[in-house]
Amino acid sequence: MNDYLLTNLLPLMVSINAKPSESYTLSALGLERQSSQSILISFGERIEQFWNKVISDSSAHNLIEDCNLVEVNGKQRQIDHNFKTAEKTYYLESKCNLNFDSEKIKASNKKIEEVKEALNAEEGAYFVPVVSEICKKDLTKYNNKGVAVYGVRWLLSKIDAQFTEDEYFAFLSETVAPILEEKGL
């Protein structure tokens, strides 16, 4: 098992605390359940933190180590990933799910463009930290709107991480999945 993943990803996953579901349906049925949505949201936040650590620990220059906010049109916006490699400067919006409704897609795509410009990044894109490569359907959907979408394989090709793609996905399925299932996922 990869020591980097054990040291840096495992504690983030173990620290997830599931919240009780606030469902009227469950209440009516007399059932109490943990909110799987709260676990997935916490997972998304922590996997974003993890990938920022990976970027910081690589030869790429993580540009948001001190501050992950930028002003866009007079509002503070949170930045998921912003780093510089020998090739170019990237801004990535981390998403574990690309199935947005049409209004959310427009707003998210607009945010990527606005934040990219505010950061003077050469490329802005979505990063999906839970897939190796983006399926053709999603790639086409977003590329047709002028937005790139990348998976783990792409990011690992840009930075020198201390684990492989296979080690990462094996760790998620063999180590993280049982922990999250125990928490109610």
Give the pLDDT confidence of 143-170 residue by residue, as tens digits. 988 899 999 999 999 999 999 999 999 9
Tell me the per-residue pLDDT of 74-129, one tens digit each, with 9 for 90 and over.
999 999 999 999 999 999 999 998 887 667 778 888 899 999 999 999 999 999 99
Give the C-alpha distances (Å, rounded to integers) separating 28 from 22, 23, 24, 36, 184.
Answer: 11, 9, 6, 19, 20
DSSP H or E stretch at residue 8: helix 3-8
Which of 161, 157, 129, 133 lies closest to 55, judged by CA? 161
Please provide the average confidence, as pLDDT, over all residues in the chain.
92
Confirm if 56 and 62 have CB atoms less than 8 A apart.
yes
Mean pLDDT across 132-143: 92
Q: Residue 123's pLDDT is what? A: 95
Q: What token pair was written down for 69?
A: 């906010």
What Rg, from alpha-carbon coordinates, does the chain have?
A: 18
Q: Give the count of alpha carbons within 13 A of 4, CB side only.
A: 15
Q: Residue 102's pLDDT is what? A: 67
Q: Residue 101's pLDDT is what? A: 64
Mean pLDDT across 55-78: 93
Task: For residue 185, name the pLDDT band (cuts at 50, 70, 90).
Answer: confident
